[in-house]
A and B are shown apart, each in its own frame.
Chain A
Amino acid sequence: MTTVFGVPLPAILGQLMLGLVNGSFYALLSLGLAVIFGLLGVVNFAHGAFYMLGAFAAYIGLASFGVNYWWALLLAPLTVGLLGIVIERLLLRHLYHVEPVYGLLLTFGIALIAEGVMRSQFGASGKSYPVPPLLQGGFNLGFMVLPVYRAWVILASATVCGVTWFLIERTRLGSSLRAATENAKLVQAFGINVPLLVMCTYGAGVALAALAGVLAAPVVQVSPLMGSSLVIVVFAVVVIGGMGSIVGAIVSGLLLGLIEGLTKVIYPEASNIVVFVIMAVVLIWRPAGLFGKEQ
């Protein structure tokens, strides 16, 4: 049998496939984070909490109101995105003129509150969300059985990332957004309502996190802590890609998923630090990240 680093080739292929699935989650989460940072300059530490709330929204929808998975994909991001808008309107807005660290502290506090509330409601061990009937089963790829649901995650994430990139880089709305971050006063003078634009952007970034949460619900235990472990990795992904760079977030998300997958075969104990080692190396070599622009 062909081997790479002493590991059989089918095993490597299997791990790369799984890395792609995880990379899809990283890409989706870091995308929202990059959009929010790029356009608002806010380091959104509550991103993991919104991801968790998205998963719980799906769970509550199913358990209490009979809302199925497909509706949850639409309704959970809407609900959580709306919550994001309320938070932006009432709290975050007042911190734009002060140092970014205040926004970071505020969102970190929001994350702790959200986790605490869900823990007291649902307990630390969380809830189980079933895989939707249409997506059960698996494809036999020869080297592994890929569950249909995981293939769906890759597809869904790729679509959402593509659409978001297109909206921001190739449409008129996107160009107003990008202009507003360069010079808000000038854009306002052209008759564009900048505060509204910023509010909707935050809402959309939060909705992306919630969408990732709904996608993750059938794969992992829906628990109050599911976001806090992930958000740190996602921050590293954003830093590696270049803070605020949308392409950077997507590419480095997928790339790090793959590298992490390989680490799990070669030296599993290091699988949760490999991302940070890469972050350190990238920061030394290119302080603005792989796709970031030097200021």
Chain B
Amino acid sequence: MTRKSTIVVLGTLLGLYAASQASAAADQVVIGDIDDMSGVYADVMGQAGVDVINMAIADFGGTVLGKKITVLSVDHQNKPDIGASKFREWADQNGLTVVLGGSNTGVSIAMSKVAAAKKIPFIAIGAGGASLTGADCTPYTIHYAYDTTALGNGTASAIIKEGGKTWFFITADYAFGTQLQDAATKVVLANGGKVLGAVRAPLGTTDYSSFLLQAQASGAQVLGLANAGTDFSNSLKAANEFGITKTMKPAALLAFLTDIHAATLQTAQGLYLTTGWYWDLNDQTRAFGKRFFAKVNRMPTMDQAGVYSATMQYLNAVKAVGSTDSDKVMAQLKKTKINDFFAKDGYIRADGLMVHTMYVMKVKTPAESKYPWDYYQVVKVMPGEEADGAQPDQTCPMLKK
């Protein structure tokens, strides 16, 4: 066979395969999970997120409306182009009905554009950027677990109440970091505080010492860490080493349970942070925590709990409207109250943000921690409206009609 005819045969086979996939997909519900599976945020959601989605599907009964439920997953490697092109590919070829996941705000913004173009619901869980339901909102985006506005309102106001009036930020240099810094800055200024300076550190920086010297030179009382994952643990570790935590109070604007675990309580004790969920809040959360632990051998983060809740909400909505039609499902999701082990008094606002109770936490000292993963004590329970405001974000273009 010549090379040319080989290519023709291969092409035909691939075409047939794609066609069979598309037709098979018509009687399926296809859940896509696009997330960071290998990079700095892999422990926050990652492969365990796929396990949790499968756990939720099994609990739901394995089928909905008599259709099989399929899960597709891919590592977006924190690259917006990979996230967006996988989303598009699955929509075109695999009969995609919903996408979950999406740690990294930059990637999630790119994916929400595809969601709008393909008219497929996108439930962003891992990403923090509030612009997902603000300037970048779409009729098909839902922002589920937490956002930068809530983080700023929670952590920054708790610290200001303790007298931390002057701030210096170390910010991850991409959409998430800058939005987080903006949210915290608003709270600081509104409460009569001052921002004395900020540095933008590239994502994945390992050496924070020179940024910390700049922070110290500013004379600010509070060191605002507007970063996450290993960026957070590396900056906190260096702050301890250089003795900066003795003169400045560190504020974790976003820290996940796995970050605190990695940094150890010795380093992280006394930190304030805001979270949408914690495994040790009540019997329901503990039950989920234990199930997750049995599978993954660590306690779940708020994102991993959120993805279970979101999968259930989606499947219930499909069941209620009797179809996977995106517009019908979105309408159903937006009018359903969410009350489960993850969210209390949750509802999806017109701009797509899931408003629910948030918690301001203080990290325990090694002496206060009584059993493995006993890391937080609740400082304040923040009703959803206090965390995010009762009104939809007016910068969201679809609300401006």
Q: Which A residues contact B (CB, under 8 angstroms)?
A: 8, 10-11, 14-15, 18-19, 21-22, 116, 119, 123-128, 130-131, 138, 144-145, 147, 149-150, 219-221, 223, 225-226, 229-230, 261, 264-265, 268-269, 271-272
A-B contact pairs, 24 of them (CB 8 A): A11-B214, A11-B217, A15-B210, A22-B207, A123-B258, A123-B298, A124-B43, A125-B43, A125-B229, A125-B230, A126-B233, A128-B237, A128-B262, A130-B266, A147-B243, A219-B237, A220-B206, A221-B206, A221-B233, A221-B237, A221-B263, A223-B230, A225-B204, A271-B205
Residue-wise, chain B 233-244 has the 8 Å CB interface mask toward A (1 for contact) of 110011001110
B258–A225 touching, CB < 8 Å:
no
Q: Taking the complex as formed, is B245 at the interface, i.e. its CB lies under 8 A from any CB of chain A? A: no
Q: Taking the complex as formed, is B144 at the interface, i.e. its CB lies under 8 A from any CB of chain A? A: no
Which of A8, A127, A138, A268 gathers most chain B CB within 10 Å?
A: A268
Q: Which B residues contact A (CB, under 8 angstroms)?
A: 38-44, 46, 173, 199-202, 204-207, 209-211, 213-214, 217, 229-230, 233-234, 237-238, 241-243, 258-259, 261-264, 266-267, 298
A256–B362 Cα distance when bound, in Å, is: 40
B202–A271 touching, CB < 8 Å:
yes
Contact status of A225 and B230, CB under 8 A, knowing A124-B39, A220-B237, A269-B173: yes
Q: Which residue of B lies closest to A257 (CB)?
A: B207
B213–A14 touching, CB < 8 Å:
yes
In whole Å, how far is B55's beta carbon from the nearest beta carbon of chain A?
Answer: 19
B42–A221 touching, CB < 8 Å:
no
Q: Which residue of A lies closest to B263 (CB)?
A: A128
Contact status of A264 and B210, CB under 8 A, knowing A124-B38, A127-B262: yes
User: Which residues in A have their C-beta under 8 angstroms from that of B39?
Assistant: 124, 225
A126–B264 touching, CB < 8 Å:
no
Contact partner of A272 among B41, B46, B205, CB < 8 A? B205
A269–B204 touching, CB < 8 Å:
no
Which of A11, A14, A131, A271 gathers most chain B CB within 10 Å?
A: A271
Q: Which residue of A lies closest to B171 (CB)?
A: A268
In whole Å, how far is B229's beta carbon from the nearest beta carbon of chain A?
Answer: 7
A126–B267 Cα distance when bound, in Å, is: 14
A220–B230 Cα distance when bound, in Å, is: 9
A264–B238 Cα distance when bound, in Å, is: 16
Contact partner of A131 among B201, B209, B230, B241, CB < 8 A? B241
Contact partner of A123 among B42, B209, B238, CB < 8 A? B42
Contact partner of A18 among B173, B204, B210, B233, CB < 8 A? B210
Contact status of A265 and B207, CB under 8 A, knowing A128-B233, A219-B238: no
User: Which residues in B have their C-beta under 8 angstroms from that of A125?
Assistant: 40, 43-44, 229-230, 233, 258-259, 261-262
User: Which residues in A have their C-beta under 8 angstroms from that of B42?
Assistant: 119, 123-124
Q: Which residue of B lies closest to A226 (CB)?
A: B206
A269–B200 touching, CB < 8 Å:
yes
A18–B262 touching, CB < 8 Å:
no
User: Which residues in B have their C-beta under 8 angstroms from that of A272?
Assistant: 202, 205
User: Which residues in A have their C-beta under 8 angstroms from that of B211?
Assistant: 264, 268
- Which 6 A-B pairs have CB atoms at the shortest separation, nearest pair first? A124-B42, A125-B262, A264-B210, A272-B202, A125-B43, A123-B43
User: Which residues in B have their C-beta under 8 angstroms from that of A127?
Assistant: 262
User: Which residues in A have their C-beta under 8 angstroms from that of B229?
Assistant: 124-125
Contact partner of B267 among A21, A22, A128, A138, CB < 8 A? A128
A107–B92 Cα distance when bound, in Å, is: 37
B241–A268 touching, CB < 8 Å:
no
User: Which residues in B have their C-beta under 8 angstroms from that of A131?
Assistant: 241
Q: Which residue of B lies closest to A137 (CB)?
A: B243
Q: Which residue of A lies closest to B204 (CB)?
A: A229
